Every structure is written in structure tokens, then in C-alpha cells.
Structure 1
């Protein structure tokens, strides 16, 4: 097996077929580790990137068997970030569940190779939204001294299984039962995008309902950001072609009342973003309703999991709908003690400057 470090955008796009092949074979594959998500991010946010540091492991037969897509952000010469992270908050795409994409049978060999590769960079790591069982946590723990690794529980992941009896007995079904019955009596319909010609119309329904949801609470929504919007318009088109896009809305009396934007990945559905008309009358709790409709759809398609993704550790509406939760970690690792002191000092100075209105 051989390590190859990819450090340019051109090289990253050139290995897309090999990456896609690995994505189809790896047991831990999910949308946020896909070439579609990560390469679209690279193309959209290339202005943030100083250089790439993709750590790729190849078999002697030429197959890619692991990829850890990292990059150095401009102005951060001492650390690496996972691709899909590090944007300004107003443009953040909220990539989740960062990890090494790897075939299970090669985990031990790949781990040893990547630990040495990470050490050789001489840089630290900044990781967000890492699941407790991620190989990436193990790598950070073994590539850096314990005193130079900070792990914190940043959020919680909320999810439920759809196997066996599907939604039977779930909190979601119990909460949605009355709303679904009313939705049915009112002649409500669920529309799911399947035709590229209708993609723009579905996307407009999503963004309109998202803005309606936050109207009055904030002047702009995330979909008003040019980079965020560009990223998702490009991604949605790719996912639709692949048959993995889930873009839908519930309609009552010819009026959209709630929208769902997510993805099918492996045997699970991931809810990414939505929008609701909370003022619709009679009250059918459009947010709960769209989750129920899409979970029912997913179960009918043979999906085994429904993932709400993560939210803050405090009370979240996802907690009231999901059956299970687990911690999601943020990890910062420093290559040396002096780098840790310097980075923390710079961060402190930047914070002071912001408060003083100097930047």
C-alpha cells in the first residue's frame, strides 16, 4: 500500500473516479464523505484554501482504499482542517460526521500509514462534528500527545431506525398522527423532486419556506448567502442525477406548507435543511408533518435509518422526534506546545480586537 498526498485542486478533481469507487465500497460511507459533497465545497470555497493536504492510500492494484481530505486555510499555517469546514459562519455548510473514508478490511494498515502521515505534516488538526466511533478520533489521539489534544462534546446527533416495523411505536409517529390525519382530510399531497426540469421550482419552494420560517427573527437566512446557495444549487443537481437527492414539500390546498431537503446515502436518509409556514391554519404542525411523511417514504424505500443530524446539546426539537442520540465531538490537536500557545494567543488577540471594534 502506498500513501499519496494530493495538494492541488486539479489533482483532487482528477482522482474523483477513484474516490467515487471507494465511496461505493467503503462501509462507513455517507454523504459528507462523498466526492460530490467535498469537491463541490472545494470548488465553491476555493478562495479560503491555501493548499490541500489530501492523504490518500492506494492499493498496489491502483484502487484507492482510504482518503482523509484535509486542507490548510489561508492565514492558518500551523493547522489543517477537514474539507467542508472552516467557512465564515454566514456561509457555513455544516458538514457533519467527519472521518476517514476507508474499506473495513484495511483499517489497521491505513491507520498506521495515516498516523505517520499526519505527524510528518508538522501541523495540528481542527475537527468538527466527529462521531464517537470515528477512526479520525483515534488518529488524532495517537498522532499527537494527549496534552496537545482538546476534545469537547459540541453537539448531539439525533436519529432513529426504520427497520422491522418502520415508524411503529416511535415518538415521531405518535406526535404526527393527528396532524397526518388532518393533512389527509384536507387533501394534502407530498411532492418529491425527480425531474431535473423541476429542480429549480422545488429549490425555490425550499428557500421561500425557509425564509418564511425565520421571517422577523433574522434579517437574512443562510440561503441568502451567495456561497452557501451556490454550493447547494450545484450539489442538488449532482445528487438528483445520482438518484440520491431528497427534495420535497407538503402541499395543502395548492399551497406549500413545509419543505424537506436531504439525501439518501447508503441505507439511511439524512435530513439537512427545511422550511415551514408556521402560520398555516388549521394547525398541522408542518415541521413534524414533513418529517413523518419523509420517514414513511424512506421506510417504504427500504431505508434503515433516518438521521436528523446534529444540534446543540441543549433542548432541540429533534430531541422530541428522534428515538436516539449520541455525542458529537469537536477536536483540536496541536503539533507542539509552542504552536498551541501561539494559536491560543492569536485567538485571544483576535477576540479582543473584535470586541474593541477593530476588525
Structure 2
């Protein structure tokens, strides 16, 4: 197995076909490891960072990709450290399940080859920052074994936990899974919304609608959380540009989940998520606090679950 290093944008772009092929076959693939997320993240967040993508080949076939970059990180404002980090980590958008894309038939061999290359062939790095990796990633165990005598080389942050739930086959069965009180509250809030002039729930599925709808989502999110948190999303140019482009890419792949509640021709609440394999992910949302009495966030989530 041969390991090559990709350090130029041209070589990065040349990987697209092989990358998408691995996405289809890899058991550990996630939307955050997919071509669209990774390539767009680099477009918007790559400035000042250096590509260090590792590619494993068996003959002429790409069997593994480990998307990494090198950056200079200052510790306590006095000491500069060269960090290797997964592409997707380090910006102000929050990925999960980063790591290695590999052919399932040789996942262990690919992981070992990447770890060996990082520890013996990759120069100029001082710290490997393993952030946003799944807790069961074989990469973590392999590195722990191979670098046990140099633990200071590896920085490992615990992954963010994602809560998953299995949805019943249809809306009626979902409602029956709730308590009687919860069903009544949900039904009452939905009926109250539907009695409003021009009330409707709809999905944004037209590419021409994405940009104005995205602008409205950003506005509603800021309205909802202004003064409630110090870490507002939809504020930096990188975040706005990345997620706007990501929505277009997800729509093209039929993976975008972008929904709105509307009254009198005005959108009052929005949901942004995506579909990956058989799983629907909630990523961001927002609503107009002026309509808080209608519980727009809760009503919208009910419609989204029904549509899923």
C-alpha cells in the first residue's frame, strides 16, 4: 500500500471522483467527511492553513483518504506549535465524525498505514490534534498504541455526543408514541398556528430560493438567540459563505432538509438539516420571537418530523 500526500488545491480537486466513490462504500462515512463538506470547508476556512491530505492506494485504486491540514497555533501567546488537524475542525462551524474514509475491505490496513506515515514520514508537525472523531474510531486506538511512548504528540478532545432516535413508520404512529398530554399539547399548538392568516409549512426545494431563504434563516437565528448566548452562529463571513454554498450542494444531491413556517407571506420559523443514508440530521434553526406565543419552533419541528 502506497501513501501519497496532497498539498495543492489542484491535486485536492483531482481527488473528487475517488473521494465520492469512497463515500459510497465506506461504513464510516458521514456528511462531514463527504466531498462537498470537506471541499467547501477548505474554500471558506483554508486561508492561512496548509493542505496535508493523505491518500492510500492499493495499486491504482484509492482505498483510503485522511483529510488533514497543517496550521501554526500559538500557545499562551508566546509559543508557536505546528498542528496537524482534520479538515473541517478549527472553524466556527461544528462538524462531527471526522477521520478516515476507507474501503471497508481494508480499513485496518489503511488506518495502520496512515498512522505509520504520520509518525515516521510526515515532517514539520509537532502536535496531532484529534478533534471531532467518533469515539469508536480505529484511528484513536491505533495511534494510542503506536505513539504510547510519546503521548505529548497527540491531543485528543472528547467528541460531541449526538442524540439519535428511531422514528415510527408514519405520523400517526409517532403521535401514538407520545404521552396523551404531549399529543394534546402538540395538536393544540398546531391548530392554533393553522388558524392564522396565510399559515403554511413548506420545504425549500428550488435552487433560486436558497439564497433569500438562507438570509432569512440567518436573521431569524440571530433574533432568536441575541442576548441569550455569546456564541451566535451565522455571524462570520466564513460561516455564512460556507453554509450558503453547502445548502446548494446538498440540494443538488437531494440531501437538503430546509423547511419554513409562513404567515401572511412572511417566514416566521426555519429548520436547516440534511439527510445522510437513512438518517435525518438537525443542524440549525431559528424563529421570530415576536411570534413566540405560537410556539413556532415546536410547531415547525412537528411538521419536520412528519415530513421525514
- The CA distance in 2 between the partners of 1:177 and 1:16, in whole Å, is 46
Count residues in correspondence.
290
- Are residue 261 (structure 1) and residue 261 (structure 2) matched? no
- The CA distance in 2 between the partners of 1:151 and 1:46, in whole Å, is 22
- Are residue 252 (structure 1) and residue 254 (structure 2) matched? no
**Aligned equivalent of 1:293:** 303
**Aligned equivalent of 1:80:** 84
**Aligned equivalent of 1:327:** none
Contact 1:98–1:136 under 8 Å retained in 2: no
**Aligned equivalent of 1:103:** 103
SS of the residue aligned with 1:159? coil
The 3 A distance-change label for structure 1 pair 189 and 59 is farther
- The CA distance in 2 between the partners of 1:296 and 1:240, in whole Å, is 20
**Aligned equivalent of 2:41:** 41
- The CA distance in 2 between the partners of 1:176 and 1:125, in whole Å, is 47
**Aligned equivalent of 1:337:** none
SS of the residue aligned with 1:65? strand
Any gaps of 5 or more consecutive residues in structure 2?
A: 74-79
SS of the residue aligned with 2:32? helix
The 3 A distance-change label for structure 1 pair 98 and 167 is farther
Using structure 2 for the length normalisation, give the TM-score.
Answer: 0.83
Any gaps of 5 or more consecutive residues in structure 1?
A: 299-359
Correspondent of 1:64 among 62, 65, 85: 62
**Aligned equivalent of 2:76:** none
Give per-residue Cα distances to partners, 1:202-223, cap 9 Å, x unaligned: 1122112112112344699432
**Aligned equivalent of 1:215:** 226
Q: CA deviation at 1:154?
A: 5.6
**Aligned equivalent of 1:200:** 211
Q: CA deviation at 1:42?
A: 0.9
Task: Summarize the alignment of residues 92-241 of structure 1 with structure 2, pairs less than 5 Å apart.
Answer: 92-120=92-120, 121=122, 123=125, 124-145=127-148, 147-148=151-152, 149=154, 151-153=156-158, 155-162=160-167, 164=169, 167-168=174-175, 169=177, 174=183, 176-186=186-196, 188-217=199-228, 221-241=232-252
**Aligned equivalent of 1:313:** none
- The CA distance in 1 between the partners of 2:255 and 2:230, in whole Å, is 32
Contact 1:28–1:101 under 8 Å retained in 2: yes
Give per-residue Cα distances to partners, 1:302-344, cap 9 Å, x unaligned: xxxxxxxxxxxxxxxxxxxxxxxxxxxxxxxxxxxxxxxxxxx
Contact 1:278–1:285 under 8 Å retained in 2: no
- The CA distance in 2 between the partners of 1:290 and 1:27, in whole Å, is 32
Contact 1:115–1:142 under 8 Å retained in 2: no
- Are residue 12 (structure 1) and residue 12 (structure 2) matched? yes
- The CA distance in 1 between the partners of 2:144 and 2:178, in whole Å, is 37
SS of the residue aligned with 1:156? coil
- The CA distance in 2 between the partners of 1:97 and 1:140, in whole Å, is 17
Higher alpha-carbon deviation: 75-84 or 9-18: 75-84
**Higher relative contact order, structure no. (Cα contacts within 8 Å, ≥ 6 residues apart):** 1
- The CA distance in 2 between the partners of 1:270 and 1:177, in whole Å, is 24
Give per-residue Cα distances to partners, 1:258-316, cap 9 Å, x unaligned: 111111112111111111123315x2322222222222212xxxxxxxxxxxxxxxxxx
The 3 A distance-change label for structure 1 pair 125 and 290 is farther
Q: CA deviation at 1:54?
A: 1.0
The 3 A distance-change label for structure 1 pair 144 and 291 is farther
Using structure 1 for the length normalisation, give the TM-score.
Answer: 0.72
